[in-house]
Amino acid sequence: RLRIYKHDFMNHLQIIQCLLEMNQPGKAFEYLQNVTKQGKSISLNYEIGIPELESAIFTAIESAEKHNIHVKIDTIHLPDQLPIKKFDLVKIITNLLKNAVYALQHAEGDEKNLIIKIYMDLDEYVFEISNNVPIIPEELREQIFIKGFTTKNKEGNGLGLYIVKKLVEKN
């Protein structure tokens, strides 16, 4: 369980907390301002409506663009109240985005696309995160959700998609 929590809490909040603990309130405030600016930027460009989700998506966009990955976003404006805890939704989307960006960074070829879609289908919200390369081999498609399974060798711990599966099942 500790590994799962460690995996999920390595985010902006942890950085801010560490800066405060290191008696660096100025740097923590500056970092917080940058995170806020990023959130406002994505709010101006995309009509998502949930700042926590917008921040997670913007962070992924920044990471993708640094690695020459083309990002396409097609989203609806979400209501403030969803039938899922925002914290769980952000954990799901963050894990999916990190996996997609990692896969694209390490994929062969020049055309690398990250596609983020949020839409309604039959009165349900649908969140799609996809990357065009590499294609997951059919024999691995069930294994990728098993706790501890990774295709990242020593770089991965096999928790991201396991967490996604558990949270989707929970919600």
Q: How far is CA 31 from CA 37, 39, 40, in A?
A: 10, 12, 14
Element (H, E) at 125: strand 124-131
Looking at the DSSP bridge assignments, the partners of residue 71 are 114
Question: Tokens for 166?
Answer: 């558990």
Confidence of residue 41 (pLDDT cuts 50, 70, 90): low
Higher pLDDT, 40 or 54: 54
Q: What contacts 85, CB < 8 A, 6 or more positions away?
A: 171
Q: Which two tokens stand for residue 61?
A: 């966009």
State the chain's mean pLDDT as an integer: 86
**pLDDT bucket at 6, cuts 50 / 70 / 90:** very low
For residue range 152-164, list pLDDT tens digits in order: 877 778 899 999 9
What does the DSSP 8-state code read for residue 152? Answer: S
Confirm if 99 and 161 have CB atoms less than 8 A apart: yes
Pairing of strands 113-121, 124-131: antiparallel
pLDDT number for residue 49: 85
